[in-house]
Amino acid sequence: MNDISIYFSPVENYAKEIKKGFLGHRMHVHTVNYFPDINPNDIVIFSVPEFRNTHVSVEGSVEYMNFRRSLSELSDNELSAEVLDIGILSPGETIEDTNYALRSAVSEILKQQAIPIVIGGQHDLLIPLYQAYEATEQIINICTVDPKIDLGNPSESINHKGFLSHLLMHQPGHLFNYSCIGTQTHFLKREELDLFDRLYFDILRLGEFKSDTKKAEPIIRNSDLFNIDLDAMKYSDYQNLDYSPNGISSDEVCRLSRYAGYADKVSAFSIFGYAPANDNRMNEAALIAQMVWYFMEGYALRKKDYPIGSKRMYSKFTVSIQDMKDDIVFYKSDKTERWWLEVPYPPEKGIKFERHYLIPCDYEDYEKAAQNELPDLWWKTYRKLI
């Protein structure tokens, strides 16, 4: 493994006095004379206080210590993974320097088959996180919790509210699907919706999510990189600077974090939009700590379903739909009772999209197919595969 410690500043050993039974007792913290070794299945936490593409000031709070202390004081709960805090990825002289360091660090963590958890500032840091996956040589899926699509214009400079077009145009491209959970219709532009339709990307609007939060689980289960933009929170639960009265609640965002931890495919988790300088009550720090904790709890409960397990551990269901040449095939895990939908995989594609022909779904998709209705998930994935 390449030495990534050069990118990180240490923090004080805030966990050293925590008693057994609390998370801090088992955390390995990067201090002046110690940098933790990263091994497979470790959870690797670090912060990135980069805000230059926003109007937020982070002066005097770059260590995110309130978040770190809040996390260390939560229950150990017999979590199975080693938890590392490798410190602060300090902003470089330019934003491009920060992005390079973030991309390099996450790439090395992924190579070690560990799980990076990135707590940061501006949402466009999602671009170097995406680029970090290039070394894996896999086509990946991104899922983000965001009230807006943040498309932006590729001819304009990147900012935290306009970066997705730059991510989509990055070469070499290795993105199969991009999903947005919690979008609010009054923020969405027609051209953004049209682009998502053309690319067969997924949107779960806030109202749909509120009516049934479980609708988010298959979408998250299908992602490699899971991200939360804290602007998706409603203002009464999180004092973001967008002052949105509508949004995800504090208990719902913890549920989403747990879904991500439980999803075998998710290999990186990021939370962006946290500005400690604005967290006067320390409520935000406590909430983010709980989000990370619920991700780790989900991670401890992973059952190694697809794409890790064998399909022999599944019950197979075949549905015929009128006017369709092929049957629709579903699989239900005998371990977890979670559902997957199989999409015909063109053999001429080789192994490029092999990870994407069996897609997470729910029982409702099976019910629709049984009623002669082709699931949207099947159609969107089929169009992308061909």
Beta bridge partners of 153: none
Q: Residue 26 is encoded by which pair of tokens?
A: 């088992």
CA nearest to 8, candidates 88, 106, 127, 74 = 88
CB contact at 8 A, 125 and 272: yes
Question: Of 3-7, 44-48, 77-81, 353-357, which gets the smallest average pLDDT?
Answer: 353-357
Return the domain boundaries, the chain.
5-300, 311-385
- Coil, helix or strand for 16? coil
pLDDT at residue number 264: 94
Q: Residue 74 is encoded by which pair of tokens?
A: 């939560």
pLDDT at residue number 192: 93
Q: Taking the model in full, what pTM does it have?
A: 0.94
CB contact at 8 A, 202 and 180: yes
CB half-sphere exposure, 379, CA atoms < 13 A: 12
Average confidence (pLDDT) over 279-301: 90
Mean pLDDT of the chain: 89
Ordered DSSP codes for 22-50: BGGGG-EE-BTTB-----TT-EEEEEE--
Residue type, position 13, single letter: N
Q: 128-164, pLDDT tens digit by residue?
A: 999 999 988 889 999 999 999 989 888 778 877 889 9
Cα separation of 141 and 265, whole Å?
Answer: 10
Find the helix or strand (DSSP H, E) in which 274 lies. Answer: none
pLDDT higher than threshold 60 for residue 60: no
Please check whether the domain covering 5-300 is classified as CATH 3.40.50.150.
no
